[in-house]
Each structure stands twice: as structure tokens, then as C-alpha cells.
């Protein structure tokens, strides 16, 4: 019985995570993510799957980030009928995030057709619709961490803590063949030790025969996440003394909640005098509600804080805003305050209004807490470009800019060595994915240095038989 592993997405690149396990009774997908990046490049890749969706037996989903889950509605729209196995928190996050992704796909197509398509023959269709996202919701099946799930004949999957985002998991697959067990570990995205709220990644990880590992920051070292609380409090205090406001563009999942938790902690500990703090983003508010519903994912420190304070995310101290009118009212105020808003790379959403209204005042501070891709407004802020174009007009950047790198939710070189190094010697095969060239090579080197002799960097379409 030949079992093959095929690499489709996130092979030689970061986004579009999807790997196929070809089993005798049908293919099973490890993740089904959206390619993100330049429009034409991503569009072409997102419109092909390399597999017939109706043939897919099941999906094992590591976590809710769109580059791992965002193509599931496309799969459903093309006759995939499930199941999709994921942790309970991942299922809840996906319901919100896939609906949001569908909305973006539809708005994008509408915008393109209105502005760019000279005649109807050039019209584009959205990759999928809200109805496709809703149909996908029904296919999710919740799997608790640590429980062995039979997902195909003689095959089980166990979801282990990945410590990356709420609900994130590494997936351990065990295949029984001829009286022996073949073990494969798919890391999904690996998190870090000491990230706020979340439990650390599982360690030691179980010994396996085959490993598929992410490589995002295999060539980097991050600042410690626990140092970020002090840094953000210092910036807020300095800005308040100057009479200014703090504007923080932040991703809806993870970064926003980590900030709310740190600020709530800092106020409870007397490190920060209460001041108006706003989380202004409907998606962030919905995601924070999901965080509140899943304390089973918290680490001991967050659980203790929750028991003492009755809440982790500072409701009462932090104002969560969904209403557009309330959001607009923030623009009329100029008193010292903190505004956390999306999008994380300043490409769309309410953050644009807050930046437009605040970057021209030198008393204010813009704090960058996440990765800013090239050609985004966020990157131009990091580069302290003197004038920024927002909604077609130029605004001078006079506000102070602070960049905090310690909030990253991805394992760095030290974390990857600590987590995966102990597995290296016993591996029959290892595959580095989810990285650009330099990162993939660095990941292979980490494994080689730890005693693995055959770490590979697969290309899209590559297939490997599992011995």
C-alpha cells in the first residue's frame, strides 16, 4: 500500500498552505489556505487546486489564519462535502474569518468590475461568496486537543498545542500498515514560548518518521514577548505626557487581544494610569468574543488573571467599538488615548481614518506591532516616509513612530531548534515549507545540524512516498 505526500501550496513560498496525503481511500488535505500577495500571482494560484475537490475525503485544519483556511469555501463551492476537522476555537474563528474573507472577495470583484473592466467580458467573479462560506461552516467538526481521531481507514490524527494563535495545532498523523505504524507530524504554524494568553507549544513533541515544518522565521531571532508589556506602557506614558494619542494598527486575531490583555494587566498592576483605550474594529470585537469563549486555550497565568479580574480583555477599561458613528466620533477627540484598529498593515479599514487624523501631530505616536509587507502603507510608516498617501491625499508624517518586534506569533530560530531539534535524528524524511528561499534553507540547516540527514525543500507538485 503506497502512501504519498504531495506538496501544493506554501511550497517554496509562505502563503497558500495545502499538503495532500494520498491514502488508499482518497486524498486528505492538511490545510487549505489562500495564496496572498500580488493580485495576478495570487489569483492564478487560488483558482487551481491540483486536485478534484469532490474526491477529497477530509481536511485536517491546523489553525484559522486565512493562508491556512481561506480556500476552504472555494473547495466547498467545487463540490467538496467534508468533513473539516479542527479544534473548537479554530472552528469558531473560521466561521467569522471565512465570512469576512468572502465579503472581501465579493467587494474586490465588485470594485474591479466597476472601475477596471471596460466591457462586461472583462468582469471577474469573486473566488467565493458568503453562501460558500456558510456552506463550509456546516462541514466543521470539533476535535479536542490530545484526542486521537480516526479520520480514514487505519489512520488517526491528534491535534497538539502549537502555541501560535487561539486554537492552533500541530497535527500528528499515525498510519497502521502491515503491523507497523508510520508517524507524520505537520507543524502548521508553530508559535513561541511565553506568548501572552496562549499555552506554549507542546514540548517535547512526539518522535515521528516524517516531519512537515513551517520555516517562516527560521533565519531570525525575535525580542522576548514578555518585554513587550513594559515597552508599550512606556510609549503610552511618554505620549500621554506630551498630550498625544497612541495609534496602533493591529491584526484582528491575536495581536489585538495580546495588546488588550497587556494593557488590562498593566492597569491592574498600577503600571498604567487608566486612560481611554479603544479597540475599533468590528472583526476584532467578534474575535475577542471568541477568545473569551475559549479559556481552555489559555495558559496558567491568563487563567489566574481571569479568575482574579473576571475578564482578560479589560472590558470596562477598554471600549470595544463596532458602530461606525462611534468610530467617527473618535476623530473629533484629541485627548490622550489609545486606539487599536485594523487592518494590521494599514491597507484598508478604520485604521486609515485614525492615521489620517493623527499622523500630522508630533505629540502622537504610531506603534507598529506586526510584520509590514513591502508596498503597504504600514511599511512606509516603518520607513518613516515624510508624506503618506491616504485616500488619495498626501499627509505629512510628523507623529513619532515606534516599532515593536516582540509580538510575533511565529517560532524563531531558537524556538524551532528547541522544538524540532530533538526529533531530527530519527526522521526518515523532513520537508521545510511556509517560507521564502532563505528561510527554507535556514530551516533545513537547523534540522541538518540537529542530526537529520535528509531535510528537503519541496516544490509545488512534488510527491514523496512514505516508507
Positions in the binding site for Zn ion (CB under 5 A): 65, 189
What's the alpha-carbon Rg for the chain, to the nearest Å? 22
Give whichever of 167 and 244 is closer to Zn ion, judged by the CB atom: 167
Give whichever of 37 and 53 is closer to Zn ion, judged by the CB atom: 37
Minimal distance in Å, beta carbon 19 to Zn ion?
A: 15
Query: Cell 470594485 appears where?
Result: 111
Which residues does 44 contact at the CB level (< 8 Å), separation at least 6? none
Give whichever of 212 and 263 is closer to Zn ion, judged by the CB atom: 212
Rounded CA separation 283/73 (Å): 19
Give whichever of 65 and 192 is closer to Zn ion, judged by the CB atom: 65
First to last CA, the chain: 10
- Structure-block grid coordinates of residue 139: 462541514
Rounded CA separation 305/261 (Å): 10
Phi and psi (nearest 5°) for 249?
A: -75, 130
Minimal distance in Å, beta carbon 291 to Zn ion?
A: 16
Give whichever of 272 and 283 is closer to Zn ion, judged by the CB atom: 283
Minimal distance in Å, beta carbon 267 to Zn ion?
A: 29
Give whichever of 67 and 209 is closer to Zn ion, judged by the CB atom: 67
- Give the largest Cα separation in the chain, rounded: 72
- Structure-block grid coordinates of residue 196: 501572552
Rounded CA separation 159/177 (Å): 21
> What b/e readout covers 413-430, taking b as 16+ CB neighbours within 10 angstroms?
bebbbebbeebbeebebb
Give whichever of 161 and 189 is closer to Zn ion, judged by the CB atom: 189
Q: Collapsing DSSP states into helix, strand and coil, what is residue 462?
A: coil
Q: Collapsing DSSP states into helix, strand and coil, what is residue 283?
A: helix
Minimal distance in Å, beta carbon 131 to Zn ion?
A: 26
Give whichever of 314 and 370 is closer to Zn ion, judged by the CB atom: 370
Rounded CA separation 343/341 (Å): 7
Minimal distance in Å, beta carbon 111 to Zn ion?
A: 27
Minimal distance in Å, beta carbon 22 to Zn ion?
A: 25
> What b/e readout covers 219-245, taking b as 16+ CB neighbours within 10 angstroms?
bbebeebeebbebbbebbbebbeeebb
Minimal distance in Å, beta carbon 68 to Zn ion?
A: 6
Give whichever of 19 and 245 is closer to Zn ion, judged by the CB atom: 19
Minimal distance in Å, beta carbon 62 to Zn ion?
A: 8
- Structure-block grid coordinates of residue 348: 484598508
Any idea what DSSP says for residue 340? E
Minimal distance in Å, beta carbon 168 to Zn ion?
A: 7
Minimal distance in Å, beta carbon 220 to Zn ion?
A: 16
Give whichever of 189 and 402 is closer to Zn ion, judged by the CB atom: 189
The answer to whether the CB of 352 falls within 8 A of the CB of 391 is yes
Minimal distance in Å, beta carbon 102 to Zn ion?
A: 19
Any idea what DSSP says for residue 25? T
Rounded CA separation 25/46 (Å): 26
Q: Identify the bridge partners of residue 255 per DSSP, sorted by sequence position.
A: none
Q: Identify the bridge partners of residue 148 per DSSP, sorted by sequence position.
A: 158
Can you list the positions of beta strands (E) in 315-397?
Answer: 318-321, 338-341, 365-368, 387-390, 393-396
Rounded CA separation 201/63 (Å): 13
Give whichever of 17 and 239 is closer to Zn ion, judged by the CB atom: 17
Rounded CA separation 402/338 (Å): 14
Minimal distance in Å, beta carbon 76 to Zn ion?
A: 21
Give whichever of 45 and 350 is closer to Zn ion, judged by the CB atom: 45
Amino acid at each position: 500500500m503506497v502512501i504519498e505526500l504531495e506538496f501544493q501550496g506554501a511550497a517554496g513560498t509562505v502563503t497558500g498552505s495545502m499538503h495532500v496525503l494520498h491514502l488508499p481511500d482518497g486524498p486528505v488535505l492538511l490545510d487549505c489556505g489562500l495564496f496572498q500577495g500580488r493580485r495576478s500571482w495570487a489569483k492564478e494560484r487560488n483558482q487551481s487546486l491540483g486536485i478534484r475537490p469532490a474526491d477529497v475525503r477530509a481536511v485536517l485544519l491546523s489553525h484559522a489564519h486565512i493562508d491556512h483556511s481561506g480556500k476552504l469555501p472555494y473547495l466547498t463551492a467545487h463540490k467538496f462535502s467534508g468533513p473539516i476537522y479542527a479544534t473548537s476555537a479554530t472552528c469558531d474563528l473560521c466561521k467569522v474569518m471565512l465570512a469576512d474573507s468572502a465579503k472581501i472577495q465579493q467587494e474586490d470583484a465588485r470594485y474591479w468590475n466597476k472601475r477596471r473592466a471596460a466591457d462586461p467580458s472583462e468582469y471577474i467573479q469573486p473566488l467565493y461568496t458568503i453562501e460558500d462560506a456558510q456552506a463550509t461552516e456546516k462541514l466543521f467538526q470539533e476535535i479536542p486537543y490530545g484526542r486521537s481521531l480516526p479520520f480514514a481507514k487505519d489512520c488517526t490524527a491528534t491535534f497538539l498545542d502549537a502555541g501560535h494563535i487561539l486554537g492552533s495545532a500541530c497535527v500528528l498523523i499515525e498510519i497502521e500498515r502491515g503491523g507497523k505504524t508510520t508517524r507524520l507530524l505537520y507543524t502548521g504554524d508553530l508559535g513561541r514560548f511565553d506568548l501572552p494568553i496562549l499555552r506554549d507549544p507542546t514540548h517535547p513533541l512526539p518522535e515521528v518518521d516524517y516531519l512537515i515544518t513551517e520555516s517562516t522565521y527560521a533565519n531570525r531571532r525575535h525580542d522576548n514577548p514578555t518585554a513587550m508589556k513594559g515597552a508599550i506602557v512606556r510609549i503610552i506614558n511618554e505620549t500621554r505626557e506630551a498630550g498625544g494619542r497612541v495609534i496602533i494598527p493591529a491584526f484582528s486575531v491575536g495581536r489585538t487581544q495580546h495588546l488588550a490583555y497587556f494593557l488590562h494587566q498593566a492597569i491592574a498592576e498600577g503600571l498604567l494610569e487608566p486612560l481611554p483605550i479603544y479597540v475599533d474594529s468590528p472583526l476584532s470585537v467578534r474575535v475577542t468574543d471568541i477568545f473569551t469563549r475559549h479559556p481552555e486555550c489559555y495558559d496558567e497565568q491568563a487563567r489566574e488573571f481571569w479568575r482574579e479580574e473576571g475578564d482578560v480583555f479589560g472590558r470596562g477599561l477598554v471600549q470595544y467599538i463596532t458602530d461606525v458613528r462611534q468610530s467617527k466620533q473618535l476623530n473629533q477627540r484629541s485627548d490622550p488615548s489609545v486606539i487599536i484598529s485594523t487592518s494590521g498593515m494599514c491597507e484598508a479599514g478604520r485604521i486609515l481614518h485614525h492615521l489620517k487624523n493623527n499622523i500630522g501631530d508630533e505629540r502622537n505616536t504610531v506603534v507598529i506591532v506586526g510584520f509590514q509587507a513591502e508596498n503597504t502603507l504600514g511599511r512606509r510608516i516603518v520607513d518613516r516616509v515624510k508624506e503618506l498617501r491616504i485616500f488619495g491625499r498626501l499627509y505629512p508624517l510628523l507623529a513619532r513612530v515606534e516599532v515593536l518586534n516582540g509580538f510575533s506569533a511565529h517560532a524563531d530560530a531558537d524556538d524551532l531548534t528547541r522544538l524540532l531539534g530533538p526529533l531530527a535524528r530519527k526522521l526518515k524524511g523532513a520537508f521545510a515549507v511556509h517560507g521564502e528561499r532563505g528561510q527554507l534553507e535556514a530551516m533545513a540547516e537547523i534540522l541538518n545540524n540537529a542530526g537529520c540527514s535528509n531535510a528537503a525543500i519541496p516544490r509545488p507538485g512534488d510527491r514523496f512516498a512514505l516508507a
